[in-house]
Structure 1
């Protein structure tokens, strides 16, 4: 049986994807959504300092994009 990635692993992959001009972002969001469900939580928490566009408009765009795919995004320190 293949082990499911943890939420932390999935979030790390999302950071890597965002840094790589959103390469495979939808795949990583789906993985994150599955990991959140596995751990019984509804929100993923990201550090705005690690985002390529951590300003307010960048965060709002990210939240909207992820929300359309069923993942609620929160930001640490916000």
Structure 2
């Protein structure tokens, strides 16, 4: 997983969310590493692909990712 891109890591997170957060922590770690490699400071997610696309779901996701060291925004 060391050569994964930010977009591939983001897609893996969407898949993980669809599968009841299976291996989400591994995917977040891969995303964080890819962001560092590519110089990206914030991960952007599409609200429509989230399991809970309302404000509460977005804030919960933002909070969890922040604890893991990843800044999140939504489109």
Q: TM-score normalised to the size of structure 1?
A: 0.93
Is the contact between residue 65 and residue 72 of structure 2 (CA under 8 Å) also seen in structure 1?
Answer: yes
Counting matched residue pairs gives 75
- Show structure 1 runs of 5+ residues with no match: none
Question: Per-residue deviation at 1:67?
Answer: 0.3
- Show structure 2 runs of 5+ residues with no match: none
Report runs of 4+ in structure 1 exceeding 6 Å deviation.
none
Residue in 2 aligned with 1:74? 73
Question: Per-residue deviation at 1:32?
Answer: 0.2
Secondary structure, in 3 states, of the residue corresponding to 2:73? strand
Q: TM-score normalised to the size of structure 2?
A: 0.96
Shift in CA distance, 3/34, structure 1 to aligned 2, threshold 3 Å: closer
Larger Rg belongs to: 1
For 1:49-68, list aligned pairs within 5 A: 49-68=48-67
Report the aligned-residue RMSD.
1.1
Deviations 1:2-32 (A, max 9, x none): 8611000000000000000000000000000
Secondary structure, in 3 states, of the residue corresponding to 1:45? strand
| CA–CA distance in structure 1, aligned partners of residues 2 and 47 of structure 2 | 29
